[in-house]
Structure 1
Amino acid sequence: MNERHKNENQKWSKIREKGKKHYILYYGVLGWGLSTGVLFFLVGEVMDHKLAFRGYFTGGWVLELAIAIGSFLLGGLLFGYTMWGFNEGNYTSDDEVRE
């Protein structure tokens, strides 16, 4: 096993100790979902209003933000669950390395 793979295994070992639910919530829902939802909303505002700063956050922006964040939080559940499975598939425990 090369050094990079060994380091990745050590990192994943520490992360997986906290459990699947923690990973999905922290990395999927909050890490990916919340940040992507806010970024999606902000990029949409810039695309809609260009450089007319007066136009930002007028009208139903609260609803738009809530929909964007809510949608991406749900997507974050799927993302976290999928990435947990991917990382578990790539993980090699110390017991497997010794064999």
Structure 2
Amino acid sequence: MSTANEDKAAKWQKTRQLGKAKYVMYYGVAMWGISLAVLFTAIEWLTQQTLTPSWFTIRIIVFGIIGFFIANFRWDGNERKYAPRPANKKR
């Protein structure tokens, strides 16, 4: 494994200590959901000079769900990618 991959694997091991539920809630629902809801609300403000509270609520819910799935897939992918490999046994 290259040094860059070893660094990423070490970072993942540290992140992995959060646990899957906290990882998904923090990186998926909070980071993706809130960030995208704020971004699209800002676009709404810039293009229409109006804010619709019900749309903001809908965005939080929809982007939170999308973020949940994104973080879930990322967790599973990182688990497969950086999982400790068992040593090869000689027969």
Q: Which runs of 4+ in 1 moved over 6 A?
A: none
Match in the other structure for 2:71: 80
DSSP 3-state at the match of 1:18? coil
CA apart distance, 1:2: 0.7
Give the drift of 1:25.
0.4
User: What is the TM-score of this pair, normalised by structure 1?
Assistant: 0.78
Counterpart pick for 2:54 among 53, 56, 63: 63
Partners of 1:80 and 1:46 in 2: how far apart?
29
> How many aligned residue pairs are there?
88
* Equivalent position of 2:39 in the other structure: 39
Residue deviations 1:2-52, cap 9 Å, x none?
A: 110000000000111111001100111101111111111211221223xxx
Query: Residue 82 of structure 1: CA displacement?
Result: 1.0
Structure-1 separation of matches of 2:71 and 2:33: 9
Q: Matched residues in 1 for 2:13 and 2:33: separation?
A: 23
Following the alignment from structure 2 to structure 1, what is the Cα–Cα distance between the partners of residues 86 and 73?
Answer: 25
TM-score of the superposed pair, with normalisation by structure 2: 0.84
Q: Identity over the aligned pairs, expressed in percent?
A: 30
Q: Which amino acid aligns with 1:14?
A: K
Query: Shift of residue 63 of structure 1?
Result: 0.7
Distance 1:46 1:64 in 2: 15
Between 1 and 2, higher relative CO (CA 8 Å, sep ≥ 6) is seen in 1
Give RMSD over aligned pairs. 1.7
